[in-house]
Amino acid sequence: MSDINTTSLADKLQDLELCLKSQHEQEVSYGQALREAIVHMDLLIEVEVLKSLGDLHLHKGKLSKDAAEFDKAAALYAAALLRCTDPDMGQTLEHRIGYMEKLSKQLLQGYSPHFRWLLSDYWGTADSNVLRVAEICDKLDRSDKKSKQCVEETYTETLVTAIENSDMFLEVEVLKSLGDFYLEKGKKTSHVSQFSKAAAMYKKALRSCEDSVTKQTLGHRIRYAEKIRKAVKMTGDLDTAEQNFAAALKSVHVKGHHREEAEPLYRLAKVYLKRGILSKDGGDFTKAAALCNAALVRSRRDDIQKAIQDITKSFVKHVLDIEQKEHIDETEKHKLMLNEDRNYAEREIKRIDEEIDPYSLDEDDPELREVEKKRVEAIKTLFETIVQQRKTFIAGLVDECIEVMGPPPFINLGETILPAMGIKSLNNFFSEDPRDDWYYDSVTPHGFSFDGAMPHACNTWIKLGDQRKAVGYIEQSLQMMRHIYGENTAHPDIAYSLNNLGAAWSHLGDHRMAISYYEQSLQMKRIFYGDNTEHPDIADSLNNLGAAWRKLGDHRKAISYYEQSLKMKRIIYGDNTAHPDIASLLNNLGTAWSNLGDHRKAISFYEQSLKMKQIIYGDNTAHPDITSSLNNLGVAWRKLGDHRKAIIYYEQSLQMRQIIYGDNTAHPNIANSLNNLGTACSDLGDHRKAISYYEQSLKMKQIIYGDNTAHPDIANSLNNLGAAWRKLVDHRKAISYYEQSLKMKQIIYGDNTAHPDIADSLNNLGAAWSDLGDHRKAINYYEQSLQMKRIIYGEDTAHPDIASSLNNLGIAWRKLGDHRKAISYYEQSLKMKQIIYGDNTAHPDIANSLNNLGAAWRKLVDHRKAISYYEQSLKMKQIIYGDNTAHPDIADSLNNLGAAWSDLGDHRKAINYYEQSLQMKRIIYGEDTAHPDIASSLNNLGIAWRKLGDHRKAISYYEQSLKMKQIIYGDNTAHPDIADSLNNLGATWWKLGDHRKAISYYEQSLKMKQIIYGDNTAHPDIAVVLNNLSVAWTDYGDYSKAMFYFELKEQMNQRMSN
């Protein structure tokens, strides 16, 4: 043995020894090492492993004085000696055998180990061995189905046992079975390495085998494995080529660079031609033809024209199995027919112009109308003739195809433009990720082809938003596939159609139906790829199921599917590999954890996803995937209450998208960034800036989809504008936008369809009517929304959207003064949230319900119960966001505790909580920022100091609050918050005895509230001010005015109670 080989062998064994901890693990690990040595046909390692296993059993025999252990050692040393080709190693093994025999005689009173391989009849006759080995293998197969242990490991252990027992018959059969295992795995996974492993096992069995029939069988299997390996390698090479040419196409897929697309399209066509020849799948030839036609449109090259003819010939030969000797391409004949039709149309147009010309007559000529009628009839006849000519021409094409192909069960017509072909590297309709559907063909004329891609025709309707039409197409396609392949056959095309049906139902909002189809698709993929196989298509199905469960609100189930998919993709692509699919799943996990309220965990996943995308595309590259991660980080920081950080991420995302798509380009992703910036500005209290962003976003979406188009993105922008105007207290404008949004959603999804987006609009209208003081109308909308959500998610399902509706009904009943009914709804909502997120989980939604219960018990004057709920809510928020974190939700809880202690008469404790809340809000929004939340805290401090009797300090806080509100909403704007401040100033000046000043503030407040709610509207806020004016005029001594306001208040109360 050479020095180099000895060193290499020593290194390999040293690496193996480092992994071993116990004798049991040693035996298992040596078994794996033996298997790997056979796979790599490394005879040196194989001999060394057998020697080491012999040493292991010799050591066991020495310790236990067990003859069986000495017999195993003898068999292993003998097996190593039989395989050994190195004289030095052979000498070592002979010494080992001598030492073993000597030791055995010493310890076991003269016992000499059995060398069973020397005894030709030890295992019986050949026939009895066939039966014995068959029974052993049958038991192994049955135990594998019950056990969680891998088939590979079970056979490896049996192989070692066979060698230990010198059982040549079993050894050969196990090697053959391992070869079969690798062969099947290779077929399922298309991994070339599996076929090499299979061939190595068959070759090893062949060398050990003495039976001529078995030798012949093994020889056939070796040749078959090699043949399959070459075919799969060719397919793998084609996959790589497709990815490379698709990437080249993507790099030149820019407006105005159509000529540069010709070469990569032509190269992709050649890939699909070779794939079709291998697969004999008509769809591959159709794609090849479509790619060639697209290339030909961009570059009139002879080689592309010839390639189209070659594709046609290959299709007939390899798919139809017809040797077509005569030329089957009758393009020239078809062109001649079309030219004749065109010439006929030109002659007819010329004849009509010459013979029936109304323009040659005067306007008052009595024959003018009659000539015009004749001209219309002539043009109509011409059009009908052209239509008939087209029908005849197309029928001729169909007949020509059937003449060559024979009558198919279905004439499957597909469009020849590339997006309709469903070429995965260009338009992957299997993927939920819109970025995988990137190729848009604006150059190739539309046409049709036989054996086209009808399953993909549905995707045109999906992209246009007509999901119901898409479902119709996919169902036809599915029926067709089942007719072709068999009703109960598991086939990739059927799985593809099932997946598409899932996607279409998901778009329609029926996520339960989507899950049903996704599960059928997954089950089918597992049948044809294998249950325990890691395959990208199976991982995609798991991801789609995660997305569907997320949309149904079961985020824990979603996370489970996402994690399974992520684990599988990491096995496929490698743990430390930066791959777009892995980055996408990290992103999806971030979204699911965000929905569960764990925003810090979400940020961790989003950051991992962003980092991976920057590795894939480049740190300084502007790429859509990177913009998506930046956007998601903005969303997560916003949910954590860090709105300034959110804006930084949104602005980075917007800037990058403008680089990608163009500064002045109307693009959905740019519109989305503008929308998110609007939301962040709204969170910071700058609602006018928010409206500016929302309007820019809406305008862009209308340019993209069309002014009069009903589209979900446009409906969403209208909804957001409603929300912004609602925050600016223009409730009527808010209602107008909400109604436009609702109407559009009903057009999109259907008037009588239960859809989450429609339920959201009904909910928002309820909130807006509640703001206007019409709480009964609000309850009506909330109940419609709740009913719809129960239809969507299930009557008895615990879902965040249902819990939200129950909460909103609680708020509405509280505003109507029915606090016990409010508590009932709040408790139902809380219970549901605890089922969703877990009893002991700290979640923002649960904290919100605890807060609302505190508010309701406060209204029922049970202040200690209110404080208990408020404290639970505060504690939970501090767990979620961090004890020392400044967060709006924590600031709200501090404020509410201040109000509750104030109700109990402990105004100093109240002031302490209000000051903590104010300080936190200034940290969040900025020391000198005018923000509604800061203005609210200043107002509350005014109330507390007034209750403590320090009216001048109270006025100081009220004036600061009023000034800030006027900065936020505008000096001349009528807003409820400004009206409340005016009212509070009136009340404080009244306490100081300045009744004129008090009346002045009350009158300003009344006037503003009448502008907000309407002059003749009965509203509780107006009734409060009327009452205050009545009291102030009484104290001033003007009893007639006091009576006037008192009667107005009584009339309003009467109207509100009816």
The average confidence (pLDDT) of the chain is: 83
Same domain, 361 and 283: yes
Same domain, 238 and 220: no
**Residues shown for the chain:** 1058
Structure tokens at 840: 């002991």
Same domain, 558 and 704: yes
Q: Which residue has the higher pLDDT, 919 or 428?
A: 919
CB burial of residue 933 (10 Å; 0-12, 13-18, 19+): buried
Identify the pLDDT of residue 118: 47
| SS3 (DSSP) at 1051 | helix
* pLDDT tens-digit series, residues 63-82: 888 888 888 888 888 888 88
Same domain, 343 and 399: yes
- Residue 1041 belongs to some domain of the structure: yes
Residue 963: band (very low, low, confident or very high) from pLDDT cuts 50, 70, 90:
very high
% of the chain surpassing 70 pLDDT: 84
Query: Is a pLDDT exceeding 80 seen at residue 100?
Result: yes
CATH of the domain at 1034: 1.25.40.10
- Residue 870 belongs to some domain of the structure: no
Query: Is a pLDDT exceeding 70 seen at residue 121?
Result: no
Q: Which residue has the higher pLDDT, 412 or 887?
A: 887
Same domain, 196 and 221: yes
Give mean pLDDT, residues 1021-1038: 92
Pairwise CA distance, residues 631 & 653, whole Å: 6
> Which of 200, 215, 230 is the endpoint of a domain?
230
Same domain, 163 and 300: no
Domain around 16: 3-230
> Which of 192, 211, 230 is the endpoint of a domain?
230
* pLDDT tens-digit series, residues 922-948: 988 788 888 888 999 999 999 999 999
Identify the pLDDT of residue 476: 67
User: Total domain count for the chain?
Assistant: 4
DSSP for 240-273? Answer: HHHHHHHHHHHHH-STT-GGGGHHHHHHHHHHHH
Structure tokens at 702: 């209308």
Query: Is a pLDDT exceeding 80 seen at residue 585?
Result: yes
Pairwise CA distance, residues 821 & 809, whole Å: 9
- Residue 907 belongs to some domain of the structure: no
Same domain, 600 and 647: yes
Identify the pLDDT of residue 252: 77
Query: Is a pLDDT exceeding 90 seen at residue 959?
Result: yes
E strand spans, 583-724 = none
Give mean pLDDT, residues 473-502: 76
H or E element that contains 96 = helix 87-107
Identify the pLDDT of residue 455: 47
Least confident residue range of 16-20, 288-292, 396-400: 16-20
Structure tokens at 453: 């891609």
Q: Which residue has the higher pLDDT, 336 or 1048?
A: 1048
Q: Which residue has the higher pLDDT, 100 or 416?
A: 100
Least confident residue range of 310-314, 847-851, 883-887: 310-314
> Which of 368, 386, 418 is the endpoint of a domain?
418
Identify the pLDDT of residue 453: 44
H or E element that contains 449 = strand 448-450
What is the CA 117 to chain-centroid distance, rounded? 60
- Residue 496 belongs to some domain of the structure: yes
Torsion angle of the four alpha carbons 21, 23, 24, 30, in this order, in degrees rounded to the nearest 10? 90
Residue 413: band (very low, low, confident or very high) from pLDDT cuts 50, 70, 90:
very low
Pairwise CA distance, residues 366 & 58, whole Å: 123
Give mean pLDDT, residues 413-428: 62
Same domain, 158 and 69: yes
Amino acid in position 948 = L
Closest of 132, 139, 143 to residue 165, by C-alpha: 132
Same domain, 280 and 168: no
Query: Is a pLDDT exceeding 90 seen at residue 580?
Result: no
Residue 1006: band (very low, low, confident or very high) from pLDDT cuts 50, 70, 90:
very high
- Residue 916 belongs to some domain of the structure: no
Residue 411: band (very low, low, confident or very high) from pLDDT cuts 50, 70, 90:
very low
Identify the pLDDT of residue 541: 93
Least confident residue range of 34-43, 744-753, 877-886: 877-886
Structure tokens at 18: 């480092």
Same domain, 379 and 455: no
Identify the pLDDT of residue 1028: 94
Pairwise CA distance, residues 900 & 894, whole Å: 10
Query: Is a pLDDT exceeding 70 seen at residue 183?
Result: yes
DSSP for 628-668? Answer: HHHHHHHHHHHHTT-HHHHHHHHHHHHHHHHHHH-TT---H
234 to 237, 250, 315, 337: CA distances (angstroms): 5, 24, 19, 42
Give mean pLDDT, residues 665-686: 88
- Residue 871 belongs to some domain of the structure: no
Identify the pLDDT of residue 127: 53
Query: Is a pLDDT exceeding 90 seen at residue 283?
Result: no
Closest of 183, 181, 187 to residue 156, by C-alpha: 181
Which residue matches tokens 């076929």? 195
Same domain, 49 and 194: yes
DSSP for 816-865? Answer: TT-HHHHHHHHHHHHHHHHHHH-TT---HHHHHHHHHHHHHHHHTT-HHH
Least confident residue range of 311-315, 768-772, 821-825, 987-991: 311-315
Query: Is a pLDDT exceeding 70 seen at residue 129?
Result: no
Identify the pLDDT of residue 904: 92
Count of CB atoms situated within 10 Å of the CB of 197: 24
* pLDDT tens-digit series, residues 709-734: 889 899 999 999 999 998 887 888 99
Same domain, 404 and 434: no
Give mean pLDDT, residues 133-145: 63
Give mean pLDDT, residues 23-38: 76
| Backbone angles phi and psi of 413, in degrees to 5 | -95, 130
Give mean pLDDT, residues 94-109: 87
- Residue 888 belongs to some domain of the structure: no
Q: Which residue has the higher pLDDT, 351 or 643?
A: 351
| SS3 (DSSP) at 671 | helix
Residue 530: band (very low, low, confident or very high) from pLDDT cuts 50, 70, 90:
confident
